[in-house]
Amino acid sequence: MILKYKSYWRKTGLKGKWGDIYLNHLNTFKPKNFLEIGVFCGVTARNTCEYLNKLHGNSFSYIGIDLFGGDKKSQIDEIEPNFLKNQTFSNPLKNLYYNYIKKENLNSIESNRNLLKKFKKNVKLIAGDTNEVLKKTDISNVDYIFLDGGHSYNTVINDLKIIYEVLKGKNKVILCDDYGAESFIQDVKNAIDDFSNKNNIKIKIIENRFAELIL
């Protein structure tokens, strides 16, 4: 299968080579039921759904959780892309198109729904802070999680703990962004290290950026 991450003329956390690296990682595990924490503008979501659809036809599921512009439970040091506040683009054409012609917030749940509409039967988007909504979400059949939401220590450790309570010992995969030097965030690394030490889980670093944990 040829795996080429597309940007759909939007913003993504996985720019350049990172999208293909991510898809190749997904392809080593071939999951069927997927959870993304931190959907942003939906580009990874759409690439993931395209991939899962190629692999499983209609029988796959994608759950995506994001604030989608809503408020966080706490305001403490969540590192967010600046452009969410006043969506700017270096490409003037994109700026004109999204901000003046379409007047579309690419991080809104409506914009994400629209990008993912061809998979609407498989996709569930949940708006909220994972510190509140993750424990209320049924993730019991999820095989693979891309953890890329709130980046504070407390949020990352909360997300990991909740996922672990449900999926512990089931051989499921968490790919965490921003662990290695290529996109390092200290809080993220500290949380993943503490969680892994406490639960005796090995961390495999992928391409000096992602941390892979097998539960």
Q: Any contact of residue 40 with ligand SAM (CB under 6 A)?
A: yes
Asked if 44 interacts with ligand SAM (CB under 6 A), we say yes
Helix extents (H) in the chain: 17-29, 43-56, 92-94, 109-115, 130-133, 153-167, 186-199
Number of residues written out for the chain? 215
Question: Taking the complex as a whole, how short is the minimal distance between the CB of residue 36 and ligand SAM, in angstroms?
Answer: 6
Rounded to the nearest whole angstrom, what is the least distance from the CB of residue 179 to ligand SAM in the complex?
13
Q: Which region among 24-32, 145-153, 168-176, 187-195 touches ligand SAM (by CB under 6 A)? A: 145-153
What angle, 0 to 180 degrees and rounded to 10, lies between the N-to-C axes of helices 43-56 and 17-29?
Answer: 40
Under DSSP, the state recorded for 66 is E
Q: Closest Cα partner for 215 from 44, 13, 29? A: 29
150 forms part of the interface with ligand SAM (CB under 6 A): yes
Cβ of residue 130: shortest distance to ligand SAM, in angstroms? 4
51 binds ligand SAM (CB under 6 A): no
> Tokens representing 171?
């051989």
Query: Which of 32/73 has CB closer to ligand SAM?
Result: 73
Sheet holding 173-176, edge to edge: 123-127, 61-66, 33-37, 144-147, 173-176, 210-214, 203-206
Residue recorded with tokens 């990874």: 44
Q: Is 48 in the site for ligand SAM (CB under 6 A)?
A: no
Among 62, 116, 149, 189, binds ligand SAM (CB under 6 A): 149
With binding defined as CB under 6 A, does residue 213 bind ligand SAM?
no
Token pair for 178 = 């921003």
Q: Report 92-121 residues binding ligand SAM (CB under 6 A).
A: 107
Chain residues that interact with ligand SAM, rule: CB under 6 A:
12-14, 36, 38, 40, 43-44, 65-67, 72, 78, 80-81, 107, 129-131, 148-150, 155
